[in-house]
Structure formats: structure tokens, C-alpha cells
Amino acid sequence: MLAFLFSHLSILANGAIFTLGFVAIAVVLALIVHRLVPGQFFEEHYEQAGFIFAVIGVVYAVLLAFVAIGVWERFDGAESQTYSEANAVVDIYRDAAALPQKAEIRGAIRRYTTLIIEDEWPKMVEGTHSGEADMAIERLAHDIDVLQPKSLGQQDVHAAMLGSLSQSLSDRAARVSMGATGLNPIVWVVLAFGAVVAVGFSFLVPFKRTWMQVIMVGSLAFSIAIVFYLTTAIDYPFHGDITVQPHAFENAMRIYDAIDKAGE
């Protein structure tokens, strides 16, 4: 989300710009406030402000942690989804050995997997997906649907392939959906507003030494900014700064080779 503003930069550069920029703004504002407002004001209201700041800090920490954990679990689930999808395709590849159309089906599966790795994944990083991969999996689904098993054994294999195909199509639909949806914008508004309030209340703490104020306010701002940035970076599992990689399908290609060698 916010990190996409610097999409041409590396993830480290994005993170540094976002977090250090937030820290710099917070520290500068704190110094300005303490320079313009009489020190007596902070001392008179320190106890009340300290109590409210503690409550705000706890509430915001819980909210930020809740959102960050939710986004991380979604990211982790998206990665697991790719392995489920790839494993289902591998099962179809393996089961095809029992059918006369083995060569055609396996060739179609290899082409589809190659399209996912070489065509679809780069497009998903940009926020879209491959139309060619869509057509490839639909053709494969049609070819499997119209198979005419000639024995009880082939019927069992065909049924298993249909089950794996259904799983693969379902996982693919979920993957494409995850790549197109993120947190609701209102959540980002709430998080941003909460960050401003939490850091803003730290300005009301009286400091006798400027360097201590810089350290304290800067540390608070950095702690919030780094978690906030991580959340934005993994909000969309398949595009952005940190993405799920096509390792599941690359591993599937290696398994195809192993299956072919075992059947020689």
C-alpha cells in the first residue's frame, strides 16, 4: 500500500524511507512543540496526560498487533494455498499414468505449470493474473472431464483426478482472489490516525534534556512505523514489496521429472 509509492526501490530502501521519515517528522514536531509551548504547561498536566497516554498506548498497541497478526496469517495462508494447488496438480500428473491419454495430459500440465511460473507470477506481482494460464487450466479441465474410462481401475483413477482437479481450481480461484484484495481502506485510516494520536501524546511528556526527548519520541515512532510498514508490505500476498514466491510450482516441475524417470 504506502510502500507502493516507492515501488521502483528495493524493500530495504522503502522500509528506510518510510520508518526514518516517520521518525524524523515525529521528532521534529516534538521539538517544535516543546520550543513553542512553555515548559510549565507540560509539568502542570503531566499526570493527566501520562495516564491518558498509557491507555492510548495500550489500545493502539493491541489494535496494531491485531491487524499485523491478521495480515501475516493471511500471507502465510496464501503461501500454504499455493502448495495445496501445486500438490493437486502433481496428483493429476501422477494419476495420468494409468490412462491411455497420459502423454497429452502430462504435457498439458507441464505447459500450465510453466505458464504459472513464467507468465502468471510476474503478472501477479503487478496485481493481475495470466489469461493464458486461465485458458490452459480450463482446457485441461475439459480434457479430463470428457475422458471415457474403459475399466474399473481407470474409473477410480478418473474419479481421483476429478477430485484433484476440483481442488486445484478452487485453490487457484482463492489465490487470484487473495492477489486482488487487501485490508479495507478504513482500517488504514484508523491505524494512521491512531499512530498520530499515540505519537502526539508523547509530546506532552516533559523532558529536561533535548537528547532524551529525541531518543524517547524517536523510539516510539520507530516502533510504530516498523510494524506499520511491515503490515503494508505484506498486505497483498502476491504483489508489492514482500510476496509469496512460486516455489510450490517450481518444486512441482521437479516432481514431474522424478515421476517420469521412475516410470521409464
What was the pLDDT predicted at 136?
Answer: 92
pLDDT above 70: residue 7: no
Confidence at 42, pLDDT banded by 50, 70, 90: low
Distance separating alpha carbons of residues 163 and 53, to the nearest angstrom: 56
**Nearest-CA neighbor of 254 among 126, 75, 93?**
93
SS3 11: helix
**Arithmetic mean of pLDDT, 249-261:** 93
* Exposure of 27 in the CB half-sphere (CA atoms within 13 A): 17
pLDDT above 90: residue 82: yes
Let me know if 55 is exposed, middle or buried by CB neighbors in 10 A (0-12, 13-18, 19+).
exposed
Percent of the chain predicted with pLDDT > 90: 35
Cα 207 from chain centroid? 40
Pick 261 or 47 by higher pLDDT.
Answer: 261
What was the pLDDT predicted at 252?
Answer: 95
pLDDT above 50: residue 1: no
Confidence at 4, pLDDT banded by 50, 70, 90: very low
pLDDT tens per residue across span 143-169: 898 888 888 888 898 999 999 999 999
b/e map of 25-48 (b: 16 or more CB within 10 Å)? ebbebbbeebeeeeeeebeeeeee
pLDDT above 70: residue 92: yes
What was the pLDDT predicted at 58?
Answer: 87
Confidence at 39, pLDDT banded by 50, 70, 90: low
Which residues fall within 8 angstroms of residue 155, CB to CB, at 6 or more apart?
Answer: 149
pLDDT above 70: residue 41: no
φ/ψ bin of 37: left (φ > 0), alpha (ψ from -120 to 50), beta (otherwise): beta
Domains in the chain: boundaries: 66-184+228-264
CA distances from 236 to 41, 73, 263 (A): 45, 12, 40
Q: What is the DSSP string of 105-154?
A: HHHHHHHHHHHIIIIIHHHHHTT---HHHHHHHHHHHHHHHT----SHHH
Among the listed ranges 64-78, 85-99, 145-159, 202-216, which one has the minimum average pLDDT value?
202-216
b/e map of 232-259 (b: 16 or more CB within 10 Å)? bbbbbbbbbbbbbebebbeebbeebeee
pLDDT above 50: residue 9: yes
Distance separating alpha carbons of residues 195 and 76, to the nearest angstrom: 26
pLDDT above 70: residue 3: no
Q: What is the pTM of this model?
A: 0.78
pLDDT above 60: residue 8: no
Please check whether residue 257 is in contact with residue 106, taking contact to mean a CB–CB distance below 8 angstroms: no
Distance separating alpha carbons of residues 112 and 92, to the nearest angstrom: 12
